[in-house]
Structure 1
Amino acid sequence: MARPPGPLLLLLPLRFLLQLAAAGRPCGPAGLPQDTVLGHLGGNITLTCQDEVPADGTVLWQVEEQGAAGSWARQLAEGNTLLLRRLRYKDSGHYSCSVGSQLLRSLRLLVAEPPETPQVVCYRRSHDKDVLCEWPQHKKPSPGTLATLWVKRRFVAENATEQQCHYFSKARKFVCRLKVPPGTDDTKPLVVSTCVSNGAGGSAGKDKIITLSGVLKPDPPVNVTVEAVEKAPQRLQVNWSYPPSWDPRFYWLRFQVRYRPEPAPTFTEVDQVTATWLDIRDAWRGTRHVVQVRAKDEFSHGTWSEWSQEAVGTPWTDPWDLTSEMEPFSSQVPMEDGTYGVTLPPNLFRQDDTNGARGSVMESSTQPVASPYAFLVTGGSLLLGIALFVGIVVRYRQMWLTSGQETTKPEGEGQHMLVPLSLPPPTLSDTPLLSQPAPSAPGVLHTTQADYSSSGQ
């Protein structure tokens, strides 16, 4: 025998019917009221007073307008029909036609566009915040458009909670706020239904099944900074802060960091960052880097936040590694003719060159640029050599003078010549005792007989 269906099986169809009823909730007006004409924005429309043109008078059209002082009728045109071109929202109002003082017909013109179908996205900024549901609008909604959201627990026979949504013109989207009662289970599924309606019709969005933990989406981190590390040309220190909407005293976040040097098109990503800082150790030398950070619940509930605003930084650069724009000259550049050129900075030129003075190459001598230290070493060596030479000359000059006095003697030295006593001595100027000696080396002392005579020898 077949077993009778249990209570759970009997309740399933009822639950599905409740879901279908919620999904099939009427959205928007059933139809336009009588004597109401719908006009589309930017289009044309023709209003008709009567099927047949009255023969006893002229038909006059007028529109009722509202002002601070009240309402009044503004005259428009004559004729059984009234043509309105390029409709605007402000053309909506009550139009009437009359012959004299007799009212023939009164119409209400509504200029509106059917609302767009909502594509709802729900998120929660932290565990202690309400749920926000929103959807974008490609066009500005027509005046009088209403947006409504219903939320209820899934598989529970209870009335849905209704929330009115608001349109934000700058963001061009509808936003609804769901109040979360304290103690609500974050894992229980909820059903969210939406409806947007105006005089031109209504549009319902698809029901969305959410959980409070599943829609958790933090705000992006703030105060992202990138700093260089001294004497580390390939390191960058990245720091950031928790978003103000997240309280780190009870729940933490984990982060993901991405960075790239500006010439590179793709990012390098670092996952599972639990601190609010990161030390990048593979940065490009001397290149500016772009860095962004995003956050997620520490237990991976929900989704990642949006990326933070871009922060930029450049690794530390050795102050001696100067570029050609900062140095007096960058280097000696080999020229095509075998000579060398020197790259000069543009600030050495008094006038701007049409070809650009930046990076201009000026021809110079083929001799390398001499260092001032070479001049000092050469001059010192030369002075030392001169001093040594002078010392040697002075020393050997004394030796030369001494040796000349000991070796140079006149002829007949050591001999005693006999001179007759009776004969007078000869004149010294006429009868030299010694012949003229041959020239000798400089510094040798020459001795003559006159010297011996004057000395008493």
Structure 2
Amino acid sequence: MVGAAAQSWTCFLHALLLSVVSCAETRESPCPKPEDLEMPVLWCYLRHPASNIRCEWRPQKKLPLSSQATLVVQKGFESSPVTKSCSYVSSAQKFNCRLEHREGDGEKYIVSLCVTSRTDRKISNVTVTDGNRLLQPDPPMNVTVTPMERAPRRLTVSWRYPSSWSRSYYTLRFQIQYRAENSRELSMGLTLSTSYLIEDAWMGRKHLVLVRAQEEYQHGSWSAWSSEARGTPWAEPYLPESRPTQASSEYDPDLYENSLSHEEYSPSTAADGEVPSQPLVSSSVPRYPLFIAGFCLGLGLCLFMGMAARHRGRWWRRIVAGGKFKSLFLPHTEGGRTEPLSSETLLMTPCPSPTGDKTSMYAAATGGHVSTGPNP
């Protein structure tokens, strides 16, 4: 019984000790565990075909002060690997490594990055590459967008070569990307020059322009995009309306007409230098009443001609129906003298008799006078 009780107390004390230790581990300990290193991600590039290869790594979290980085390089598949020390740039918070490279060298490089601390060590993935594949220029510099005068749909984009690229032998080609502000429609362009003309810009809209570079014969990859540049096409300047002053020598018909509407010019008073005691009657006639009067006159004339055309056939039939058409135009004798028939008499001629009496019809037409001349 005593042994069993002692064993129970031992188990209880052991469990209590484990719980205390576990609670202590959850709190901040004066002796922390060694910090694990971050897996490095290596990135290598070549800014110019005649420059050296650079490799770098940007840690995502803070590293121990004792951390170091070493570049492991093997040139070709038959050579032995060598190490190159890397430096830490505190301003950029990255490790920077330099690898010697000869211009035009197409040899393969097998590279990796080894990072060590006092308690841990990590190595990056192994990369197999060459100078042509690593070539990546820096972005173009000083990109500007300028409007063209009197061209509301054109913009001129200009830039400079990156400072890290020498133009002594190698040249670059450039890609332009632009769009109007608040628009998702992108437009692209390619050129070997350091300027580009945009000919399909939106009138009155601000445009956003980016430029990037690549080796002329497409060796390597494109550079990163340049800083964004903005510009708006040329627009017609607004000029407020201005009326000519009295000192203007140009003839203004409105001004001349307004001056005549107040006072009529008199040569006699102008010659004598006298000013009339009261304003003279204006001789100018307003243009709008004249226009209305002319319009009404033309409308009346058109109505009259229409009515005449409508009744012309009726009058013609009335005249011809009596069979004495020629006699209407013959002169008749009244009081010993011959007089032609007037147009009023012809218009007032009554309708022919239903009996068909030609003599009575002619007598009515001539006012009761019958011509003694020979019949036609």
Quickly name the TM-score band, shorter chain normalised.
0.5 to 0.7
Query: In the alignment, which residue of structure 1 is the partner of 2:88?
Result: 167
Amino acid aligned to 1:191: I
Checking the alignment, whether the CA contact within 8 Å between 1:261 and 1:284 is kept in structure 2 is yes
Q: Shift of residue 145 of structure 1?
A: 0.9
Distance 1:377 1:216 in 2: 77
Shift of 1:201: 1.4
Please name the residue that 2:140 is paired with.
Answer: 221
Q: Which residue of 2 aligns with 1:379?
A: 258
Cα distance in 2 for residues equivalent to 1:212 and 1:200 = 36
Partner residue of 2:99?
178
Q: Distance in 1 between matches of 2:93 and 2:76?
A: 31
The answer to which of 113-122 and 250-259 deviates more is 113-122
What is the CA distance between 1:290 and its match in structure 2?
A: 1.1
Query: Aligned equivalents of 1:295 and 1:263: distance in 2?
Result: 26
- Aligned identity (percent) is 36
* Alignment correspondent of 2:203: 285
Distance 1:286 1:128 in 2: 45
Aligned CA distance change for structure 1 residues 377 and 145 (closer, same or farther; 3 Å): same
Give 2:70's aligned residue: 148
Q: Where do residues 128-139 of structure 1 align in structure 2 (5 Å cutoff)?
A: 128-139=50-61
> Taking structure 1 as reference, are residues 310 and 390 closer, same or farther at Cα in structure 2, changes over 3 Å only?
closer
Q: TM-score, normalised by structure 1?
A: 0.48
Q: Partner letter of residue 40 of structure 2? A: P
- Measured on the aligned residues, the alpha-carbon RMSD in Å equals 3.0
> CA–CA distance in 2 between the matches of 1:155 and 1:140?
35
8 Å contact from structure 2 (residues 260, 282) kept in 1: no
- The alignment's TM-score, normalised by the length of structure 2, stands at 0.57
For residues 204 and 244 of structure 1, what CA distance do their matches in structure 2 show?
33
Other structure's SS at 1:192 match: strand
Structure 2 counterpart of 1:220, one-letter code: P
Question: Does residue 248 of structure 2 align to residue 317 of structure 1?
Answer: no
SS in 1 for 2:132: coil
Residue 253 (str. 1) matches residue 132 (str. 2): no
Q: Secondary structure at the match of 2:131?
A: coil
Length, aligned pairs only: 239
In the alignment, what sits opposite 1:302? 220
User: 3-state SS of the aligned residue for 1:306?
Assistant: coil
Instruction: Give 1:240's aligned amino acid.
Output: W
Amino acid at match of 2:186: F
The corresponding residue for 2:294 is none
Question: Contact 1:257–1:292 (CA<8 Å) still a contact in 2?
Answer: yes
| Structure 1 pair 258–385 and aligned structure 2 pair: CA distance change class (3 A) | same
Offset at residue 386 of structure 1 (A)? 6.7
| Pairing of 1:192-271 with structure 2 (within 5 A) | 192-271=111-190
Q: Report if aligned partners of 2:180, 2:202 keep a CA contact under 8 Å in 1.
A: yes
1:85 Cα deviation (Å)? Answer: 5.6
**Contact conserved, 1:189 with 1:211, CA < 8 A, in 2?**
yes
- Identify the residue that residue 40 of structure 2 maps to in structure 1: 118
Distance 1:191 1:390, change over 3 A: closer
Q: By percentage of residues, which structure has more strand?
A: 1
1:357-436 correspondence runs (5 A): 376-383=255-262, 387=266
Tell me how far apart the structure 1 counterparts of residues 262 and 26 of structure 2 sit (CA, whole Å): 109
Q: What's the offset of the Cα at 1:235?
A: 0.6
Write the letter of the residue equivalent to 1:206. Answer: N
Is 2:263–2:281's contact at 8 Å kept on the other side of the alignment? Answer: no
Partner of 2:305: none
Contact 1:138 1:172 in 2 (8 A): no
Shift of 1:123: 0.3
Query: 8 Å contact 1:221–1:295 — kept in the other structure?
Result: yes
Read off the aligned partner of 1:174 and give its amino acid letter.
F
Taking the aligned partners of 1:392 and 1:319, their CA distance within structure 2 comes to 42
Per-residue CA distance 1:122-142 (angstroms, 9 max, x = gap): 101101211111222110111
Q: Look up the equivalent residue of 2:55 and give its one-letter code.
A: C
CA contact 1:144–1:198 (8 Å) conserved in 2: yes
C-alpha distance in 2 between matches for 1:234 and 1:255:
22
- Give the match's secondary structure for 1:239: strand
Measure how far apart 1:172 and its partner are. Answer: 3.2
Corresponding residue of 2:321: none
Query: 1:237 touches 1:279 (CA, 8 Å); kept in 2?
Result: yes
- Tell me if the contact between 1:114 and 1:198 (Cα under 8 Å) persists in the aligned partners: no
Q: Distance in 2 between matches of 1:232 and 1:187?
A: 49
For the 8 Å contact 1:140–1:172, the answer to whether it is kept is: no
Contact 1:126/1:217 (8 A) holds in 2: yes
2:220 partner letter:
G
Counterpart secondary structure, 2:167: coil
Offset at residue 378 of structure 1 (A): 4.1
**Is the partner of 2:261 in helix, strand or coil?**
helix
**Shift in Å at residue 120 of structure 1?**
1.2
CA displacement at 1:167 relative to structure 2: 2.7
Displacement of 1:231: 0.7
What residue is the counterpart of 2:107 in the other structure? 188
C-alpha displacement of 1:161: 2.3
1:177–1:384: structure 2 CA closer, same or farther, 3 Å change rule? Answer: same
